[in-house]
Homo-oligomer: A and B are copies of this chain.
Amino acid sequence: MVKAGIIGSTGYAGQELVRILLQHPGVEIVWYGSRSYIDKKYSSIFGNMFQITDSTCMGEDIEELAGQADVIFTATPQGLCSSLVSEEVLSRTKVIDLSADFRIKDVAKYEEWYGIKHQSPGFIEEAVYGLCEANREDIKNARLIANPGCFPTCTVLSIYPLAKEGLIDMDTVIVDAKSGVSGAGRGAKTANLYCEVNESIKPYGVAVHRHTPEIEDQLSYASGKDVIINFTPHLVPMNRGILATSYAKLAGKLSYNEVKAVYDKYYGKEYFVRVLDENVFPETRWTEGSNFVDVNFKIDERTGRIIMMGAIDNVVKGAAGQAVQNMNIMFGFEENTGLKTIPMFP
């Protein structure tokens, strides 16, 4: 049994990690970390866990934890993982970081967009960006995984084949994304109260959202060009789900079948990426509770643009599920072990 520790187990991503790992046949959770709930029963915070786990929350002593766990998940705010990680820790255990600390290779860019000083820039180079469908081989032997952000996962996977094959003009990429409220975290903020969010939709972080450089980096790697995009996230009154609607000029005249073939080339054998049938477009509900990414596209001949759409469950493929997918790859499990849940509807 792989022994897993979770730092930040009482946020939404942390709780989903617990939920997935408790149902994983090859993993045992040895540490439920939580700054706010030390010594409290985990199931007193999350009633779904009643009579399922009897464990109690512990702190963030990563040295101690590194001695007990084969893998540590950090589902914590930006800056925490980079302040905890060290050669000693990484020599004893593997770390999968769900925060943004190791996603951006250019430390100056990270510090500019996140507004904080990076605490361990020496490990950025080593860290592997854990977008499994793109970086599977590197993940296998990684010690430190930068688990992708929720918006980047959904956006990059829905654009990736066309960027890789040079079929779209990368200077014209515009991403309009929509997220459920769990993406905003479990902190007690007025802005995230039920009555503030319900029955409304709003854009936020317009032209300044922190996931922008992460998406740009990945699209740059894929296309071999320096990509700058527009990225506008919106908050949608629902618990889970991200939908990304992306627009770009096609590099030339392409038929549905030609583009479909490119998506199939990259995703035909991927368990988690589902390229939908023609004129069937992603809806977040069909991915809820699962690690699936549903993608599809529509060519608009009138404008010469292609609309690329993707949907995920932000808490699963956008966070905890992808982290476990990374763990599966690192520890030699089948990649979808513990992740075969069929999306729940309604």
Chain A residues numbered 221-262 whose CB sits less than 8 Å from any CB in chain B: 228-230, 232, 234, 236-241, 243, 245, 247
A104 at the B interface (CB under 8 A): no
Contact B196 A346, beta carbon cutoff 8 Å: yes
How many angstroms from the CA of A341 to the CA of B285 in the assembled complex?
19
Query: In the complex, which residues of chain B have a beta carbon less than 8 angstroms from the beta carbon of A282?
Result: 202-203
Query: In the complex, which residues of chain B have a beta carbon less than 8 angstroms from the beta carbon of A180?
Result: 199
A303 at the B interface (CB under 8 A): yes
Contact A195 B182, beta carbon cutoff 8 Å: yes
Contact B346 A281, beta carbon cutoff 8 Å: no
How many angstroms from the CA of A22 to the CA of B344 in the assembled complex?
13
Query: In the complex, which residues of chain B have a beta carbon less than 8 angstroms from the beta carbon of A50?
Result: 274, 276, 286, 294
Query: In the complex, which residues of chain B have a beta carbon less than 8 angstroms from the beta carbon of A22?
Result: 342
**Residue-wise interface mask of A (299-324) relative to B, using a CB-CB cutoff of 8 A (1 in contact, 0 not):** 11011010101010001000000000
Partner of A202, one of B49, B188, B281: B281
Partner of A199, one of B186, B188, B240, B309: B240
Partner of A203, one of B19, B181, B245: B245
Contact A201 B236, beta carbon cutoff 8 Å: yes
Interface size on A, residues (CB 8 A): 85
Contact B201 A230, beta carbon cutoff 8 Å: no
Query: Quick one: copies of this chain in the complex?
Result: 4
Contact A237 B234, beta carbon cutoff 8 Å: no
A82 at the B interface (CB under 8 A): no
Chain A residues numbered 183-218 whose CB sits less than 8 Å from any CB in chain B: 186-190, 192-204, 206-207
How many angstroms from the CA of A192 to the CA of B188 in the assembled complex?
8
Question: Please, which residue of chain B has its CB at the minimum distance from the CB of A289?
Answer: B344
Query: In the complex, which residues of chain B have a beta carbon less than 8 angstroms from the beta carbon of A47?
Result: 276, 280, 283, 285-286, 294
A119 at the B interface (CB under 8 A): no
Query: In the complex, which residues of chain B have a beta carbon less than 8 angstroms from the beta carbon of A277?
Result: 44
A178 at the B interface (CB under 8 A): yes
A-B complex: 8 closest residue pairs judged by Cβ atoms: A200-B285, A47-B286, A48-B343, A202-B283, A195-B346, A176-B176, A207-B300, A194-B197
Q: What are 24 A-B contacts with C-beta separation under 8 Å? A: A12-B195, A44-B280, A47-B285, A48-B286, A176-B247, A181-B195, A186-B193, A192-B194, A193-B194, A194-B237, A194-B239, A198-B198, A198-B346, A199-B199, A199-B288, A200-B288, A201-B243, A201-B284, A203-B282, A203-B307, A230-B305, A236-B237, A237-B237, A289-B344
Given contacts A230-B300, A230-B303, 13 further A-B pairs with CB under 8 A are A12-B346, A48-B285, A48-B290, A50-B274, A182-B346, A199-B346, A200-B241, A201-B236, A202-B243, A202-B281, A228-B302, A228-B303, A239-B346
